[in-house]
Chains A and B, each alone.
Chain A
Amino acid sequence: MPEPRYLSRADAEALAQKVLSFSTADEARVNINSATEGNTRFAVNQVSTAGDAYDANISVTSAFGKKTASATTNRFDDESLRQVVQTSERLARLVPEDPEYMGELPPQQYLPVEPFFESTANLTPEQRARAVMEITAPAARQNLISTGFLTHFAGSQAVANKRGLFAYARATGVSFTTTVRTPDGTGSGWAGGGENDFRQMNFAQLGERAIRKAELSRNPRAVEPGEWTVILEPTAVANLVNLMMFSMNARNADEGRSFFSKQGGGNKIGEKFLDERVTITTDLTDPRTVTLPFSGEGLPNAPMTWVENGVLKNLVYNRFWAARNNRQPTGFPAAYRMSGGNSSVEEMIRSTDRGLLVTRLWYIRPVDPRTILFTGLTRDGTFLIENGRITSAVKNLRWNESPIFLLNNIEMMSEPVRVNASEDGAGGAVMVPAIKARDFTFTSLSDAV
């Protein structure tokens, strides 16, 4: 990105004030997002496609009484800005009242944090291509086939409303994932990472890990599906814990349609539902899991404890449901840190008589929301452990399992590390440990490599 483009604080504020000056509604809010994104893809040991794109858009939410609607545009000339305001107002007048409309917020105080790093903002296509070659060159030398994706963005977000609220922050992010396969198609290894600061990325190390796993995973043997002791590497742990974090809607729980519903009414806040070693927090002041200090409504994001020593401490409350239940509204746990232990993956392997080591999980889809039961498959590095050591690669397996069961069956945990656990290779700031757990449910074998 030769010219990382996004709106500065001054530009965003001026634009927001101009848009709000066009408003005739009782309430109005403006959300402004702008970012430059760049990416480079590679396949068969060479760059396949790449892209650099700049976009910025404005959303206007207007309200007359409790009637509200929004409109969005990415055209910033005066006429377009007037029109986007008018469209939101016209729609707001036409829709029925929203009895749950909470009105706009007055000015708020925000934590002085910003997940923004110049190293990421100033990344060039040449730097991206060089980073890619740190994987493609050694892979080609070893007669392996590498594929992967490097993406980064630099942008800003702003929120302003007619009550004088204004929030602005910049953010950067970089993600890299690579899959290395053996030419005979019998082995595949994956590695990936995500950071806000490009300087934290170590491409050669990630490439080496994927290459090693590809080599080790050749010629997998079949094992019987069933209940297995597993060692889940941190990416696989986050693949599952994400599912629980994204199911924490308080209203669904109170309405009796969630795992977090309490039979007879209400929700499970205050109940111990996981192993007591599990604590999960969101702390936007932690440099490794830093996020924007405000929500789309302009609500401050505050440090939050979701689970403490296995006890449910909070669920996700929007402003309406929080007010109705005498609780504080919360942010959404897109970024979080889970507690860990002090065992290394190597120690977990040494302590295991018979088990499976899992690199990551794939095609994860909901099966039963009553238990947060999902299905998916292992992928790109699944190994059999016998008598304290890895003895062979194994064929991938389909699992039907819930993070709730996993986090009740913990035997050992490592220190938490930051992972890139989104299936598409561009997820949020999540830190989790590797976990050794018993009785993980695999239901069938897959021939996929």
Chain B
Amino acid sequence: MKRRDFLLQSAAATAALGAGSAILPRLGSAAAPMDPVDAAVSRELAMRALDAARGAGASYADFRLAANRSQALGTRERQITFFNDAETYGFGVRVIADGAWGFAASRELNADEVVRVARQAVAQARANAAARQAPLVLAPVETYPDAKWTSPVEIDPFNVPIEEKVDLLLRANAAALGVPGARFVTSVMFASRLGKTFASTEGSYIEQTLYRSYPSMNITAVAADGSDFQNRSSTDVAPRGLGYEHVRDARLVENAPRWAEEAVAKLTAKPVEPGRYDLVLLPTHLWLTIHESIAHPTELDRIMGYEANYAGTSFIYPIENFLGKFRYGAEFMNVQGERSSPGGLSSIGWDDEGVKPDEYLIVKNGILHDLQTTREQAPWLAEWYRQIGKPVRSHGNSYAQSWDAVQFQRMPNINLLPNAERDVSVEELVSGVENGILIDGDGSFSIDQQRYNAQFGGQVFKEIKNGRITGPLKDVAYQMRTPEFWNSMDLIGGPSTYFVGGSFNDGKGQPSQSNAVSHGSPAARFRGVNVINTGRRA
């Protein structure tokens, strides 16, 4: 959330929309074709800004213009609670002058303003240079003078009639409330379209359009005597970088009764006995553990201390003791970074500094193999890349949430690859457990600033006894230490258990920026994990 949003006390309205930049093109109707900013005008503004930056003394400059639209629809029970359609337009200029970064941005898309802002960025870089010790160095990049990319959407969510969206959510709510004991339900549908234009003094000019869609529900069951209440969120529906087809595929109306029944079942579920259990984690849950304990600690900026004041650092330090040496998990564990999977929230043609992202293994055969980089950061790995015979090149992991925020290192889609030997099923994972718990869906999550100690809840917990699921549990959370946890993974599910989860609002940076990222994962089994009971009485 932006700082200025704290000004107003009516948090409910802004909180419902979430962080980020809302947006929409010039439209007379929701079905209006998108023509955010005239292409010739964009190019002219970009060239003026870059010329002004160079003229003011910048050794490098990039210009990003954004035209973003978003739509948020919320309901509770049988009524709508909000409907907002929003657009934002603006540009940012990032420069290197005197060896330091400068960045300035404005909402006013005109020739004078891009010149003023470019000069402001250079002046700011010069002020920053006084507080720098060494000049910046960027890894080389190819130039793309006329590149274009669009998310692979089948149905543009902004072309779907409003009535259909409202009807879908209200029918899903009714389906949930049809389950005895389900008292309250909220449902939300969020769609965004981000138009990005990138231009740099190195000669690239790249136009891209990203789509994101996220339908979700939360159902609350309340005990008849008021002594307890339990929630079930629709975490088996993930946000995706897709269009409205993803909303339809989510089958909210069909799934709502099951989610409601699972909320009601938690009221009478057995509270878990604390202790050590084997865990079978479904990918609807495991994606978040991957996100927190593999994806975040392998961000090179945090490893080097650049995020120490907020997001934190990493247990992976110093890197020469870890790269090629640290055993994250068993030989069969492979973790991949990519920005190319169709529907991945981080998928894109070029990153926010004009680099074409590559696909790379962060964990290879269980050993830490590579880290997430931008152009500024890739040179920090020069020695490791020399050892493995790899050129010093950014992985294309730069991102800014909108025009008014500077781009920096953000994670790509990071996936735990499924069992390459055979298609191990969830049943097979369960069958090997004497005393354990199956966890479905992500819930409460918290991890320390170096990504060692984490605690995860879930949505649905099932007791496993002697290889069979015996009944529901509640008040379950597991605590883990990252290296031991991943090394306790003794069997990984096959491709048929694979699911792509993801985070719609992953925070990092100061001011905090929101990133959207997907994580694919199979189901997997972990031995002897510490489980606590989270229930307490007031």
Residues on A facing B (Cβ under 8 Å): 2, 33, 35, 37, 39-57, 59, 68-75, 79-80, 83, 86-88, 90-91, 94-100, 124-126, 128-129, 132-133, 136, 145, 147-149, 151, 153, 155, 157, 171, 173, 175, 177-179, 181, 185, 188, 190, 255-257, 259, 261, 263-265, 291-292, 295-297, 301, 318, 331-332, 334-335, 362-371, 373, 375-377, 379, 396, 398, 400, 402, 404-405, 423-428, 443-449
Q: In the complex the two chains form, is A301's CB within 8 Å of B444's CB?
A: no
Within B391-412, the residues touching A (CB, 8 Å) are 404-406, 408
**B132 contact set on A, CB distance < 8 A:** 46-47
Q: Bound state CA distance, A295 and B127, in angstroms?
A: 38
Q: Bound state CA distance, A190 and B304, in angstroms?
A: 18
Q: In the complex the two chains form, is B81's CB within 8 Å of A129's CB?
A: no
Using known A-B contacts A368-B535, A375-B444, A447-B452, determine if residue A87 contacts B479 with beta carbons closer than 8 Å: no
* Contact residues on B (Cβ < 8 Å of other chain), bracket: 35 or more
Q: Which of B29, B79, B449, B530 contacts A99 (CB 8 A)?
A: B79
**Cβ contacts B123-138/A at 8 Å (1 or 0 each):** 1110110111110000
A-B contacts, 24 listed (Cβ < 8 Å): A37-B4, A46-B131, A46-B133, A51-B92, A51-B406, A52-B104, A52-B105, A54-B107, A59-B86, A74-B89, A87-B30, A91-B30, A94-B163, A129-B131, A147-B306, A147-B307, A175-B3, A256-B222, A264-B226, A334-B11, A366-B444, A371-B537, A423-B310, A448-B450
Q: In the complex the two chains form, is A448's CB within 8 Å of B90's CB?
A: no
**B80 contact set on A, CB distance < 8 A:** 95-96, 98
Q: In the complex the two chains form, is B10's CB within 8 Å of A98's CB?
A: no
Q: Bound state CA distance, A258 and B317, in angstroms?
A: 42
Q: In the complex the two chains form, is B317's CB within 8 Å of A185's CB?
A: yes
B536 is an interface residue with CB less than 8 A from chain A: yes
B115 is an interface residue with CB less than 8 A from chain A: no
Q: Which of B79, B105, B512 contacts A51 (CB 8 A)?
A: B105
Using known A-B contacts A71-B86, A147-B309, determine if residue A295 contacts B226 with beta carbons closer than 8 Å: no
Q: Bound state CA distance, A132 and B120, in angstroms?
A: 20
**B27 contact set on A, CB distance < 8 A:** 83, 87
**B90 contact set on A, CB distance < 8 A:** 53, 55, 74
With CB as the reference atom, state the residue of chain B lying closest to A57: B88
B162 is an interface residue with CB less than 8 A from chain A: yes
Q: Which of B124, B229, B304 contacts A52 (CB 8 A)?
A: B124
Q: Which of B24, B229, B307 contacts A257 (CB 8 A)?
A: B229
With CB as the reference atom, state the residue of chain B lying closest to A255: B184
**B89 contact set on A, CB distance < 8 A:** 74-75
Q: In the complex the two chains form, is A448's CB within 8 Å of B449's CB?
A: yes
Q: How far is the CB of B320 from chain A (nearest CB, A)?
A: 14
Q: In the complex the two chains form, is B107's CB within 8 Å of A74's CB?
A: yes
Q: How far is the CB of B10 from chain A (nearest CB, A)?
A: 4
Q: Bound state CA distance, A79 and B120, in angstroms?
A: 29
B22 is an interface residue with CB less than 8 A from chain A: yes
Q: Bound state CA distance, A334 and B80, in angstroms?
A: 26
B357 is an interface residue with CB less than 8 A from chain A: no
Q: Which of A57, A91, A447 contacts B453 (CB 8 A)?
A: A447
**B481 contact set on A, CB distance < 8 A:** 447
With CB as the reference atom, state the residue of chain B lying closest to A299: B10
Q: Bound state CA distance, A291 and B7, in angstroms?
A: 7
Q: Bound state CA distance, A70 and B90, in angstroms?
A: 21
Q: How far is the CB of A373 from chain B (nearest CB, A)?
A: 6
B265 is an interface residue with CB less than 8 A from chain A: no
Q: 10 closest A-B pairs (Cβ-Cβ)?
A: A296-B10, A72-B86, A446-B453, A448-B450, A448-B448, A149-B510, A53-B105, A53-B404, A424-B512, A147-B308
B330 is an interface residue with CB less than 8 A from chain A: no
Q: Bound state CA distance, A57 and B68, in angstroms?
A: 13
Q: In the complex the two chains form, is B226's CB within 8 Å of A256's CB?
A: yes
**B127 contact set on A, CB distance < 8 A:** 50, 124-126, 128-129
Using known A-B contacts A44-B305, A46-B131, A375-B446, determine if residue A91 contacts B104 with beta carbons closer than 8 Å: no
**B121 contact set on A, CB distance < 8 A:** 52
Q: In the complex the two chains form, is B405's CB within 8 Å of A94's CB?
A: no
Q: In the complex the two chains form, is B510's CB within 8 Å of A96's CB?
A: no
Q: In the complex the two chains form, is A53's CB within 8 Å of B92's CB?
A: yes
Q: How far is the CB of A359 from chain B (nearest CB, A)?
A: 13
Q: Bound state CA distance, A173 and B2, in angstroms?
A: 12
**B107 contact set on A, CB distance < 8 A:** 54-56, 74-75
Q: In the complex the two chains form, is B4's CB within 8 Å of A153's CB?
A: yes
Q: In the complex the two chains form, is A379's CB within 8 Å of B85's CB?
A: no
Q: How far is the CB of A105 from chain B (nearest CB, A)?
A: 12
Using known A-B contacts A48-B306, A52-B104, A52-B105, determine if residue A424 contacts B510 with beta carbons closer than 8 Å: yes
Q: Which of A87, A297, A376, A400 contacts B534 (CB 8 A)?
A: A400
Q: Bound state CA distance, A261 and B228, in angstroms?
A: 10
Q: In the complex the two chains form, is B101's CB within 8 Å of A48's CB?
A: yes
**B10 contact set on A, CB distance < 8 A:** 295-297, 331-332
Q: Bound state CA distance, A125 and B479, in angstroms?
A: 44
Q: In the complex the two chains form, is A39's CB within 8 Å of B510's CB?
A: yes
Q: Bound state CA distance, A290 and B186, in angstroms?
A: 34
**B183 contact set on A, CB distance < 8 A:** 255-257
Q: In the complex the two chains form, is A377's CB within 8 Å of B453's CB?
A: yes
Q: In the complex the two chains form, is A52's CB within 8 Å of B9's CB?
A: no
Q: In the complex the two chains form, is B124's CB within 8 Å of A125's CB?
A: yes
Q: In the complex the two chains form, is B7's CB within 8 Å of A155's CB?
A: yes
**A41 contact set on B, CB distance < 8 A:** 309, 510
Q: In the complex the two chains form, is B310's CB within 8 Å of A365's CB?
A: no
**B451 contact set on A, CB distance < 8 A:** 448
**A398 contact set on B, CB distance < 8 A:** 446, 448, 453, 455, 479
Q: Bound state CA distance, A145 and B305, in angstroms?
A: 9
Q: In the complex the two chains form, is A446's CB within 8 Å of B220's CB?
A: no
Q: Bound state CA distance, A97 and B7, in angstroms?
A: 30
B155 is an interface residue with CB less than 8 A from chain A: no
Q: Which of B13, B108, B226, B452 contacts A296 (CB 8 A)?
A: B13
Q: How far is the CB of A350 from chain B (nearest CB, A)?
A: 30
With CB as the reference atom, state the residue of chain A lying closest to B85: A71
Q: Bound state CA distance, A256 and B530, in angstroms?
A: 32
Most buried by A among B100, B124, B317, B507: B124
Q: How far is the CB of A374 from chain B (nearest CB, A)?
A: 8
Q: How far is the CB of B220 from chain A (nearest CB, A)?
A: 5
Q: In the complex the two chains form, is A51's CB within 8 Å of B449's CB?
A: no
